[in-house]
Structure 1
């Protein structure tokens, strides 16, 4: 607790990196948005910084790098423990598996009163070892927060006690949409200015099933010849996916753009945003698309179904059902009025249910509830949204 201001809680946010991905964006949004009269926030990266570090520094939030070098790195654990102990933090919040594991151990060793773990996906990738670590460390945090009911249900079934689970939806900021010339954006990335444009944005990893998207585009290239697709992001499957696009003769219809700093601009120029994941938590890309009034075509993956209302704010198809995905994407491209209506309804829902203010208020309330239960003095706060 900060000396001279007994009601201000010191909070450390710990995450593996500060790349432009979903959990990282949520952590930065939360860190910048917590009320300064009630919280003093610092951040730490377990492995390395990234482009989002600049946002934290600009907001006056110190960032420390722990520089973990190996998968199992006791020296990094020691450095992290010393940082937390020296900082005398009241709350430590951890994000993503590695930081969740190292952070919970270090925070308890340092005697931190409140430890919160954030889980951002229905992590079907986790094997026996990772699931065992999660179960073992479940009692080393006061709350495990899932960003959707699907995530909370996953960890409940994994064996995390119900009383340690909490659900707080991810948030999205209502920012002024980029002013773009859609025809110019298409031409810039090598497409005809009058093409219909679909956008995928995400990590090129097995979870996202981008290969399914390429199969959809293969089906559509003859029946919807004006459709072009921009794939934004990078990952371990990029080379394989580029080869697959070549085998499907999609080289002129698909562009792999890699990491981009202008995703909102590209999204604003697109006609539809596509997500073909096997599982999610609460996908940031869908929230961002909805806030920009863009219709979404997605698979009915755990987490995604909580934000996309099928037929109301977007269109859903079964995971892996290539013909069904192709049909809903084709129908939406052919019906611009329907697409605009879905996009408008999506924005209304994002504003009402997934705004950043509600997310920040709920985390602030959680920190103060847990701190008060540990006997720490906290400032009076409004009821969370």
Structure 2
């Protein structure tokens, strides 16, 4: 008699609106590494490409053996819909990311569509589009889950929260000194960093302005911005560099661009700063926790779940570089506080955001949804 171990792997198709360097791309990489290949097979298709979008995530996914289909890049919207309808017929579950608009029209063309999971990293994504074909909506934090539940009357239970995950074993224990050297930090320097795609809602200018305030008072401080331009607003990166130059930070703040080794670089920092407004649940907060870093952050959506103020991080008001600078200086002046905050965040990540904690939840969800098609 055959059982689950004898069954072919479930085929899971992740459909992206576009592939950049972001949280959902990272999530799929962790799933590709963490799901048992005897039971799950992950593929990816992306529907749109804009000039300036980086190839980093595609290369990383392919290195893990994930098939990344870029065929729709050369197709019209209608042809992409038809292509997806044909492609999705071969899968047991479809996971749609970034509120991709092509999936629903494609499912409506199919006689027997596969069950759909929508995955959302922003409240705006949860509120977008119909939900009648959505078997489950997965938000990375409670505010996104609750927004989706509003769109699923009578099925609110099908809106779920599964946080963004991180791999505790992604970085070797001895990475710190090499990472600091690469980022230009001397032995006695205090290295303060920000990580992410250069998107206006991430308020990187507030970090730059806080850096200028701190640099004027703390001679040992150095700063890095790790992340490349957003293809939809490439001018923002230029504005940030001009702002840094106008504040006299040319020798103190460096823009490192997109990097495939962010978790490793984080081990070289002393303080991490995140001042966004309107984000979901940033992977990088949890990645900072893996590195045991003290975090200065704005109380924004999922960050409110990741950080307990005064215990595992420090909160500052939105759009207030002076407050951010004060919090950074507090950590510089009280290293013991920084160590305590970093250790507490690390403990939270281990229990709530690690791949060990979250891969089983994804496994159960994928099996449950696939079974509903039978």
Which range, TM-score by smaller chain? 0.7 to 0.9
Deviation at residue 176 of structure 1 after TM alignment: 5.3
Contact 2:15 2:47 in 1 (8 A): yes
Residue in 1 that maps onto 2:312: 313
Residue in 2 that maps onto 1:370: 369
Residue in 2 that maps onto 1:381: none
Residue in 1 that maps onto 2:359: 360
What pairs with 1:53-64 in structure 2 (closer than 5 Å)? 53-64=58-69
Residue in 2 that maps onto 1:170: 164
Q: Distance in 2 between matches of 1:324 and 1:61?
A: 44
Using a 3 Å threshold, how does the CA distance of structure 1 residues 329 and 45 change in structure 2: closer, same or farther?
A: same
Residue in 2 that maps onto 1:83: 87
Residue in 2 that maps onto 1:297: 296
Following TM superposition, the consecutive aligned residue runs of length 4 or more in structure 1 with deviations greater than 6 angstroms are none
Residue in 1 that maps onto 2:143: 150
Deviation at residue 190 of structure 1 after TM alignment: 4.1
Contact 2:224 2:255 in 1 (8 A): yes
Q: Distance in 2 between matches of 1:8 and 1:316?
A: 44
SS of residue matched to 1:200: strand
SS of residue matched to 2:201: helix
SS of residue matched to 1:52: helix
Residue in 2 that maps onto 1:34: 35
SS of residue matched to 2:131: helix
Contact 1:43 1:64 in 2 (8 A): yes
Structure 1 residues 217-245: Cα deviation after superposition (integer angstroms, max 9, x where no partner): 22222222322110011222110011111
What is the TM-score of this pair, normalised by structure 2?
Answer: 0.87
SS of residue matched to 1:138: coil
Larger deviation, residues 216-225 vs 249-258: 216-225
Contact 2:46 2:73 in 1 (8 A): no
Deviation at residue 59 of structure 1 after TM alignment: 3.9
Q: Distance in 1 between matches of 2:371 and 2:356?
A: 22
Using a 3 Å threshold, how does the CA distance of structure 1 residues 264 and 36 change in structure 2: closer, same or farther?
A: closer
Larger deviation, residues 213-222 vs 104-113: 104-113
Q: Distance in 2 between matches of 1:359 and 1:181?
A: 27
The correspondence for 1:51, drawn from 46, 53, 56, is 56
* Residues 1:141 and 2:134 are matched in the alignment: yes
Structure 1 residues 259-288: Cα deviation after superposition (integer angstroms, max 9, x where no partner): 123322321111011111002221100111
What is the TM-score of this pair, normalised by structure 1?
Answer: 0.85
Q: Which runs of 5+ in 1 are unaligned?
A: 377-385
What pairs with 1:213-228 in structure 2 (closer than 5 Å)? 213-228=207-222
Contact 2:116 2:134 in 1 (8 A): yes
SS of residue matched to 2:192: strand
Using a 3 Å threshold, how does the CA distance of structure 1 residues 181 and 10 change in structure 2: closer, same or farther?
A: closer
